[in-house]
Structure 1
Amino acid sequence: VEIRNDPGRASQDRSLVKKTQELLDRGQWANKIEFLLAVAGTLVGLGNLWRFPYLCYKNGGGKGYSKCCMLNFLMETAMGQYTSQGCITCWRHFCPLFEGIGYATQVVIAYAAVSYIVIQAWAFFYLFHSFNAEVPWASCRNEWNTENCVEFDKTNSSSNWTASPNATTPATEFWERRVLGISDSIENIGSLRWELVLCLLLAWIICYFCVWKGVRSTGKVVYFTATFPYLMLVVLLVRGLTLPGAMNGLAFYLYPDPSRLADPQVWMDAGAQVLFSFGICQGTLTALGSYNQYSNNVYKDTFVLCLVNGGSSFVAGFAIFSVLGFMSYEQGLPISQVAASGPGLAFIAYPRAVAMMPLPQLWAICFFIMVILLGADTQFVSLECLMTSVTDMFPTVFRRAYRRELLLLCLCTVCFFLGLLLVTEGGLYFLQLFDHYVCSGNNLLLLSVCQTIAIGWIYGGDRLYDNIEDMIGFRPGPLMKICWRYVTPIVCFGTFLFSIVRYQPLKFNKTYVYPTWAYTLGWSLGLFCVLLVPLWSIYRLTQMKGPVLQVWLFEHISIIGCWLARTLTSQQEHPRFDFRQHTSSILYEDRSLVTGESPRVQMDIIDRWITQSGTGTHGMSVSKLILLLI
């Protein structure tokens, strides 16, 4: 009342409110479609195109993991939407002792942002060469070809491929000798491939200008980048189904060997792929969800997006294996000899198949545009996730005019220079090393275990149910809570143990054995991600004074909506419990008290009012606080 009756203070207060709003304005999706397209764009990535179909025919799929990941998908998206915070600061509101999970996910996504954009650089290189009068991977009449290069001759296919045991294809030599200039070992890094450097620079420039304005720019870009790949996929699917031999490829894809399900390696492969495909434990879901409106139906979105992800992967298999069936038919070889995954599929097998079709330039252009856009969506979201984490940690620094753009420029520049290692002649050795040990399923499996324990047990599945009910108006079924507490941690940890027992060192092209220092580097970088979780917990405990148990209970279980906050709400004074935590609990637990601005803005204004009026936080009752809010 005193503040409202004082004109001078009222003017100062309005100025303070305006400044606070500017600092805390994170932005939101313009509409729900932008959120759905952004998430779909990052879920439906290159893994759906070049790895999922291969694993389906090889291993029989991973339906069990898909169900677990759907529930983790809901958990992570709901955490971001409920707190309107990125994947690091949101843990401060749920389980501060496990904030290290947020840092670990950002390390994984940073590794991925540096390494996977190189795939876009390769795709740009192929795209530019697709405009030639003859695609250069169709013949052996080029300066980079060797005497072992053998062109495909449809009239005499058998003699072509059996004449020499060392025979190679034009597509293989274009990839290894023209694009990569690959060296003989990881110890021979060689020189930079300057054409790839320029392609990498182009990819980073495009990413920068698509992300530099936050969700306001990303939300508009995804209208094209998330939908156009589907158009290209449909075009390639229709073309593939009309090729001779396509049905043989589809039969090979749809009828895998069920006996393979008894092999633990099948479940390790499936676990890694599904975690990556659903974006679990990478922070992207939390970051994207944080820009939703509070009342958005995150429960419905989860099922829609998971169905889109699974359906896209399944349809991509038809597009890929119909073409592989055509290759098998044309060359007279078993499909198992032409099937491949990863870069071998996108940059050797598929270009080789395209070269056999009429109008190869057209189909090559369509395919590599699709590869570029699939990679671009994932890259956009990775950068947005990193930017969200940093700006939420330091809002007063980076939520000012042009600060975000400068931060993003610095981030892209650093990542570009780090990525130069991967466009050297030995770059592919490092890329596969990082992919196998750092951005691996083992890291994500352990992070998933930590995450489900933190939310399912420490914060409490019922508490998260309360949060979700507050947002969408109803509680999810009990199955989710059971999975968060029991099924997901047991399955993920069991899969991790299987992978350790069945561990086999990485081999490049199944032949080259890395030196010891390379394996040490890979394991060190991979373990660093996971160790951030316990290291952060130890750090937080050592920073607090008092007995460990007391510190755990009153500082680290949860400061928003936890069972402890509700129990102690009536205890306005406690030696180790700040009443402002009760305030946060009230604001987040009952959104009907908050009108107009977001709870973060309201809390900041209230704290400043209290400071200006000289009222102590411990002396302020809940009823006065509610009256002030009204």
Structure 2
Amino acid sequence: MEMKVISRDSSPGSSDLDSDQSENERGRWGRKMDYMLSMIGYCVGLGNIWRFPYLCMRNGGGAFLIPFLLFLMVCGLPLYFLEVSLGQFTGKGCFHVWEACPLFKGIGVGMVCVLFVVTLYYNIINTWTLFYMGSSFFSPVPWTRCDEEWNTPACINDRPTATSNGTLMNVSVSSIHSNYSTTVGILNGTKVVGITSEEQFWFNHILDLSDGLHDIGTLNWRLTLCFLIAWIVVCLCLIKGVKSLGKVVYVTATLPYLLLTVILIKGLTLPGSMDGIVFYIRPDFNKLANIQVWLEAGLQVFYSLGPVNQYHYILQVWLEAGLQVFYSLGPGWGPLITMASYNKFNNDCYRDSITLTLISEGTSIFGGFAIFTIIGYMSHLAGKPVEDVVQAGPGLAFLVYPEALSQLPFPNLWAVMFFVMLFSVGLDSQFAPLEGCLSAVSDMFPRLRRHKALLSIVSCVFFFLVGLVLCTSAGLYVFQLLDWYIAAFSLPLFGMLECLIFGWIYGAENMSRDIEIMIGRSVPVYMRILWCIVTPLLLMLLLIFSLYTYRPPMVGSYTYPGYARAFGWMIALLPLVPIPICAYQVLRRSNGDTLYQKFRESLKPSEDWRPVSTTESEKYNVESRFPPGDMKSTILRNVLGRES
């Protein structure tokens, strides 16, 4: 199926590109709103729902917003703006924008490697959500029952509460299962141990979890069916590329806001909800007081650091804020470049970057209010402090929320609403990595652009078949292993290299001139300073301390064996391997008699580095991008836009 080019905008200043492209070209967003909603959908992911509230709670409440917003401005926004500018200027995906500095073409290949692995495993989250969504139509909701085939004698379908005379109520446990025993309450200093019905539904019914990677088990046919449905939905949404995606996001990107608002309003009517909100926003500035918080980093998005001393804990606060911004906005992965490459050439990408970063990260803050009304309600029901019912990751979405929703009036309605919201958010996060992979393939083989539908179908079938291992009894272990390692070290490195390449090697001044061709004004000085100095320094710290704080992955009490950790390190290094390989190939083909001459030539833009606009490309002179000058003038020109 051919991608038809959208007609050119008749507004002033849009007289350059669209009519120059034939029907088999990459295509364009039909409307500006298609692009905006797609970017919001990509950036507003499940981490906004199940990670940000947790980080805010444990890192000083409202005080956490100070480093969060600061990192948003000095790290998230500059990288975001840089990547969308690259995509829009070149009209190419992350695989081909490195013609500005051919020596580092391997970064584009590495980004595609990350996208490939993420695309492979991410849809299993949507699969779990579909499973819960379908189960939400049964009354009573099945995760509240202890008389199903997947339940064990240790099942507890109500949290224990104590009466005035000290006896326990609502406990229906006859024996303790050694593998999954959980402390569900404390009475008179004595722990009450059992397995909640929500945990058994999750571990025994949905996951059918085995004892480890060594026990793959069989395919769970229910989960496999949901996995197939999830991939069919993704395929249909992307079957015409950005043309169909631009229509789908009107639902998937806006529905979560509507449902979050409804959940917030309902949550505010529940007892204990205000306790949750107060706990969420209550500032604890003591956790921000130490200046050394700027010096340590930990990839908390993937790592559970376990018990730490108070000093070490204080040092994580600012850096977790930076990591949350970095991973939620998504620079360094490649989808930002790909999505922006479908923009009109003269689109104001600077204004869009500011708007989209504020909307995307504002969603994290807004979602926190909705989430903590429910958490406050759970705290009220259990008679426990708020912090004892909060956790990050899938456990929050698939254990804590289902339990809370089952306590509400009309639990089926609220469960369906909640999991529809999660599915919408998850779909948006799945679209961008897959489109990044498809764009890389079609950019490499332009003839495939005429067969976008076939390419999408074949790709989705491939990812479905390979991803079936995630539907086995060891699926959760495979998911955690891939998620733990794939982006652990490559993303901060890619982001840092982007800043160094376009800040110093190609030059912030040259990049500013290219952006000025598109939007009619140069890059502000503060953005140049961030590109050249502040942002790469912060990302270097993230990279260094991600190695320093490394801990092997775990699932509950299960520790991965040595061979699994070795495979994980292979996954972590996979995106980095193409960098030296591609650099060697470029050096071999570069002009020059000596290695030094070849090296100098490989740092210069190739003839393929030019604007996607046909009109501007004809006038563009690659050689003029490198004005001569000494070190001092080069620094002043890149950072301040002047040579003296």
| TM-score category, normalised to shorter length | 0.7 to 0.9
Tell me the equivalent position of 2:448.
Answer: 398
Q: Deviations over 1:365-405 (max 9, x none)?
A: 0000001110101111221111112111221x2122xx222
1:116-131 to structure 2, matched below 5 A, reads 116-131=122-137
- Given candidates 482, 491, 496, the residue that maps to 1:444 is 491
Q: What is the alpha-carbon distance in structure 2 between the residues aligned to residue 365 and residue 308 of structure 1?
A: 26
Tell me the equivalent position of 1:97.
Answer: 103
Tell me the equivalent position of 1:626.
Answer: none
Contact 2:198/2:399, CA 8 A, preserved across alignment: yes
Q: Secondary structure at the match of 2:506?
A: helix
Tell me the equivalent position of 1:4.
Answer: none
Q: What is the alpha-carbon distance in structure 1 between the residues aligned to residue 577 and residue 319 of structure 2?
A: 21
Tell me the equivalent position of 2:428.
Answer: 377
Tell me the equivalent position of 2:597.
Answer: 550
Q: Secondary structure at the match of 1:474?
A: coil
Matching of residue 235 in structure 1 with residue 265 in structure 2: no
Contact 1:57/1:256, CA 8 A, preserved across alignment: no
Tell me the equivalent position of 2:540.
Answer: 493
Q: What is the alpha-carbon distance in structure 2 between the residues aligned to residue 287 and residue 378 of structure 1?
A: 14
Q: What is the alpha-carbon distance in structure 2 between the residues aligned to residue 90 and residue 304 of structure 1?
A: 24
Q: Deviations over 1:431-450 (max 9, x none)?
A: 1111111133x321111111
> 1:292 corresponds to which letter in structure 2?
N
Tell me the equivalent position of 1:415.
Answer: 463
Q: What is the alpha-carbon distance in structure 2 between the residues aligned to residue 588 and residue 370 of structure 1?
A: 39
Contact 2:505/2:603, CA 8 A, preserved across alignment: no
- Given candidates 365, 369, 373, the residue that maps to 1:322 is 373
Contact 2:103/2:582, CA 8 A, preserved across alignment: yes
Deviation larger for 255-264 or 461-470: 255-264
Q: Shift in Å at residue 548 of structure 1?
A: 2.4
Deviation larger for 404-413 or 452-461: 404-413
Deviation larger for 73-82 or 110-119: 110-119
Matching of residue 77 in structure 1 with residue 84 in structure 2: yes
- Given candidates 246, 252, 256, the residue that maps to 1:225 is 252
Q: Secondary structure at the match of 1:530?
A: coil
1:126-145 to structure 2, matched below 5 A, reads 126-145=132-151
Contact 2:101/2:602, CA 8 A, preserved across alignment: no
Matching of residue 539 in structure 1 with residue 585 in structure 2: yes
Q: Shift in Å at residue 139 of structure 1?
A: 2.3
> 1:167 corresponds to which letter in structure 2?
G
- Given candidates 108, 112, 115, the residue that maps to 2:121 is 115
- Given candidates 544, 554, 567, the residue that maps to 1:507 is 554
1:87-486 to structure 2, matched below 5 A, reads 87-92=94-99, 94-152=100-158, 156=162, 159=168, 160=171, 161-162=185-186, 165-255=192-282, 257-261=284-288, 262=293, 263-395=314-446, 397-400=447-450, 403-440=451-488, 442-486=489-533
Deviation larger for 542-551 or 516-525: 542-551
> 1:518 corresponds to which letter in structure 2?
A
**Structure-2 change in CA distance of 1:166 and 1:186 (3 Å):** farther
Superposition CA RMSD, Å? 2.3
Matched residue count: 550
Q: What is the alpha-carbon distance in structure 2 between the residues aligned to residue 107 and residue 224 of structure 1?
A: 29
Contact 2:591/2:601, CA 8 A, preserved across alignment: no
Q: Deviations over 1:71-123 (max 9, x none)?
A: 1000000000011111111112x222111111111111111111110011001
> 2:408 corresponds to which letter in structure 1?
M
**Structure-2 change in CA distance of 1:30 and 1:196 (3 Å):** same
In structure 1, runs of 5+ residues without a counterpart are 1-18, 560-580, 604-630
Q: Shift in Å at residue 59 of structure 1?
A: 2.5
Q: Deviations over 1:157-205 (max 9, x none)?
A: 8824347643121111110111101111122111111111110110111
Q: What is the alpha-carbon distance in structure 1 between the residues aligned to residue 286 and residue 568 of structure 2?
A: 33
Contact 2:586/2:602, CA 8 A, preserved across alignment: no
> 1:37 corresponds to which letter in structure 2?
L
Q: Shift in Å at residue 259 of structure 1?
A: 4.0
Q: Secondary structure at the match of 1:167?
A: strand
TM normalised by structure 2 equals 0.81
Q: Shift in Å at residue 465 of structure 1?
A: 0.7
**Structure-2 change in CA distance of 1:148 and 1:23 (3 Å):** same
Matching of residue 521 in structure 1 with residue 605 in structure 2: no
Q: What is the alpha-carbon distance in structure 2 between the residues aligned to residue 497 and residue 21 of structure 1?
A: 44
Q: Deviations over 1:209-244 (max 9, x none)?
A: 110111111111111111111111111111111111
Q: What is the alpha-carbon distance in structure 2 between the residues aligned to residue 341 and residue 435 of structure 1?
A: 14
Q: What is the alpha-carbon distance in structure 2 between the residues aligned to residue 84 and residue 155 of structure 1?
A: 61
Q: Secondary structure at the match of 1:358?
A: coil
Contact 2:144/2:157, CA 8 A, preserved across alignment: yes
Q: Shift in Å at residue 151 of structure 1?
A: 2.2
**Structure-2 change in CA distance of 1:475 and 1:234 (3 Å):** same
Q: Shift in Å at residue 323 of structure 1?
A: 0.3
Tell me the equivalent position of 2:306.
Answer: none
Q: What is the alpha-carbon distance in structure 1 between the residues aligned to residue 254 and residue 223 of structure 2?
A: 27
TM normalised by structure 1 equals 0.83
Q: What is the alpha-carbon distance in structure 2 between the residues aligned to residue 279 and residue 252 of structure 1?
A: 28
Q: Deviations over 1:263-297 (max 9, x none)?
A: 34445544443222101111111111111111110
Q: What is the alpha-carbon distance in structure 1 between the residues aligned to residue 102 and residue 391 of structure 2?
A: 44
Q: Shift in Å at residue 41 of structure 1?
A: 0.5
Tell me the equivalent position of 1:28.
Answer: 28
Q: Secondary structure at the match of 1:529?
A: coil
Q: What is the alpha-carbon distance in structure 1 between the residues aligned to residue 388 and residue 151 of structure 2?
A: 22
Q: Secondary structure at the match of 1:166?
A: strand
> 1:452 corresponds to which letter in structure 2?
C
In structure 2, runs of 5+ residues without a counterpart are 1-18, 172-184, 294-313, 621-644
Q: What is the alpha-carbon distance in structure 1 between the residues aligned to residue 144 and residue 422 of structure 2?
A: 20
Q: What is the alpha-carbon distance in structure 2 between the residues aligned to residue 20 and residue 478 of structure 1?
A: 34
> 1:30 corresponds to which letter in structure 2?
G
Q: Shift in Å at residue 153 of structure 1?
A: 6.2
Q: Shift in Å at residue 359 of structure 1?
A: 0.5
Deviation larger for 457-466 or 142-151: 142-151
**Structure-2 change in CA distance of 1:35 and 1:529 (3 Å):** same
Contact 2:51/2:393, CA 8 A, preserved across alignment: yes
Contact 1:175/1:348, CA 8 A, preserved across alignment: yes
Q: Shift in Å at residue 476 of structure 1?
A: 2.4
Contact 1:36/1:305, CA 8 A, preserved across alignment: yes
Q: What is the alpha-carbon distance in structure 1 between the residues aligned to residue 420 and residue 211 of structure 2?
A: 31
Matching of residue 50 in structure 1 with residue 50 in structure 2: yes
* Structure showing the higher helix proportion among its residues: 1
> 1:194 corresponds to which letter in structure 2?
W
Q: Shift in Å at residue 543 of structure 1?
A: 3.5
Q: What is the alpha-carbon distance in structure 1 between the residues aligned to residue 267 and residue 604 of structure 2?
A: 55
